[in-house]
């Protein structure tokens, strides 16, 4: 049975409440200045095992703690508090389908953008199907954004905070206005960075290549997953800066992230990418096998959410 989305349960301030009662003060710094940090975490339902698995939960929570530290939020939450809140609310909703969970730690109260606290949290799950249903139909027509990716010296892309997505919004709206599906940012140095909500890989001559973590990208968990599984399978994988023109001549390219999983790119600035997606398809299938608990080699990445 599908969950009743309108009445789903949210964790807010230590309580599990109906979404209609999960409200935030309009004057809180999170509402006024986007002063919040968050994670987008996926759980996948395995029908055969009748089991819901959260993917790389501890790694998401560690990244959330790094974002909290960098923004100097006076957070009362330990790693186990973050995990317990997550598990409690997912269990409370009794899901038997794939879901996406937003876990946000935010500046509450009546302070300003300089306030350290008070700090609050919500955890909000929602059903979300895998991208695989759409995978064969969906290949993205991308442009290079005229907006540069935020940089570590201005607004670090390493911090997963709400305000960073204004840069993403500007670029995505420009792409849609101009008839593309989405966009790819260059960084301050003119090298390829990432998508507005995803990381990027290209394939050239059978080698998988992705920008460095110091090229203005989020420390993506999907990026890390792909590097690990590709290397385990003996696919040569490089982390290095990528030039814009390398995108135009790539054999394959794809965007990746917890939300979009692995989604192929079919063109960049109307230069077509026609190499056949052999490696992209392999990574996509492998990824879905892992996250659903069907690959025994990577079970350490999964947290069982049992009711």
Q: What does the block give as tokens for 48?
A: 């055969």
Q: Does 218 bind ligand PMP (CB under 6 A)?
A: yes
**Segment lying near ligand PMP (by CB under 6 A), choices 20-28, 72-80, 216-224, 240-248:** 216-224
Instruction: Closer to ligand PMP by CB, 197 or 275: give it.
Output: 197
Work out which of 120, 216, 220, 292 binds ligand PMP, going by CB under 6 A: 220
Instruction: Closer to ligand PMP by CB, 115 or 124: give it.
Output: 124
Q: Which residues pair with 106 in a beta bridge?
A: 36, 120
Q: Which of 213, 277, 203, 280 is nearest to 240 (CA)?
A: 213
**Segment lying near ligand PMP (by CB under 6 A), choices 9-17, 19-27, 102-110, 220-228:** 220-228
Instruction: Closer to ligand PMP by CB, 223 or 284: give it.
Output: 223
- CA dist 236 and 73 (Å) reads 40
Instruction: Closer to ligand PMP by CB, 54 or 199: give it.
Output: 199
Work out which of 211, 257, 264, 293 binds ligand PMP, going by CB under 6 A: 257
Measured at the alpha carbon of residue 154, what is the angle toward residues 113 and 158, in degrees to the nearest 5? 85
Type and span of the H or E element at 170: helix 165-177
Q: Which of 147, 159, 193 is nearest to 72 (CA)?
A: 159
Residues from 118 through 137 that contact ligand PMP (CB under 6 A)? none
Instruction: Closer to ligand PMP by CB, 17 or 213: give it.
Output: 213
Cβ contact 11:89 at 8 Å:
yes
Instruction: Closer to ligand PMP by CB, 103 or 220: give it.
Output: 220
CB of 221 to ligand PMP, least distance (A): 4
Q: Which residues pair with 142 in a beta bridge?
A: 182, 268
User: How many residues contact ligand PMP, by CB under 6 A?
Assistant: 12
**Segment lying near ligand PMP (by CB under 6 A), choices 11-19, 130-138, 196-204, 286-294:** 196-204
Work out which of 98, 108, 181, 194 binds ligand PMP, going by CB under 6 A: 194
CB of 198 to ligand PMP, least distance (A): 5
Work out which of 52, 90, 221, 262 binds ligand PMP, going by CB under 6 A: 221
SS3 for 81-136, per residue? HHHHHHHHHHHHHCCCCCEEEEEEEEECCCCCCCCCCCEEEEEEEEECCCCHHHHC
Task: Please tell me whether residue 234 adopts helix, strand or coil conformation.
Answer: coil
- CA dist 222 and 10 (Å) reads 25
The DSSP output letter for 156 is -
Residues binding ligand PMP (CB under 6 A): 40, 194, 197-199, 218, 220-223, 257-258
């Amino acid at each position: 049975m599908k969950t009743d989305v309108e009445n789903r349960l949210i964790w807010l301030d230590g309580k599990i409440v109906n979404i209609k009662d999960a409200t935030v003060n309009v004057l809180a710094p999170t509402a006024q200045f986007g002063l919040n940090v968050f994670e987008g975490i996926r759980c996948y339902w395995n029908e055969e095992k009748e089991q819901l698995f959260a993917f790389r939960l501890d790694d998401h929570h560690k990244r959330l703690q790094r974002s909290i530290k960098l923004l100097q939020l006076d957070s009362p939450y330990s790693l186990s508090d973050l995990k317990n809140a997550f598990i409690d609310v997912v269990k409370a909703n009794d899901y038997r389908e794939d879901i996406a969970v937003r876990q946000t730690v935010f500046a509450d109260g009546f302070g300003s953008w300089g306030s350290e606290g008070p700090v609050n949290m919500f955890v909000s799950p929602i059903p979300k199907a895998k991208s695989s249903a759409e995978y064969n139909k969906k290949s993205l027509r991308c442009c290079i954004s005229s907006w540069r990716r935020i940089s570590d010296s201005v607004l670090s892309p390493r911090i997963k905070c709400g305000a960073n997505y204004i840069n993403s919004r500007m670029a995505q709206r420009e792409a849609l206005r101009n008839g593309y599906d989405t966009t790819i940012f260059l960084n301050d140095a003119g090298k390829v960075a990432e998508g507005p909500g995803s990381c990027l890989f290209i394939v050239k001559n059978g080698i998988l290549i992705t920008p460095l973590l110091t090229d203005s990208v989020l420390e993506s968990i999907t990026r890390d997953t792909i590097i690990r599984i590709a290397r385990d399978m003996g696919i040569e994988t490089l982390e290095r800066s990528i030039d814009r023109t390398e995108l135009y001549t790539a054999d394959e390219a794809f965007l990746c992230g917890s939300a979009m999983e692995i989604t192929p790119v079919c063109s960049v600035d109307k230069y077509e990418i026609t190499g056949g997606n052999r490696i992209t398809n392999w990574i996509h299938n492998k990824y879905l096998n892992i996250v659903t608990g069907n690959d025994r080699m990577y079970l350490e990445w999964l947290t069982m959410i049992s009711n």
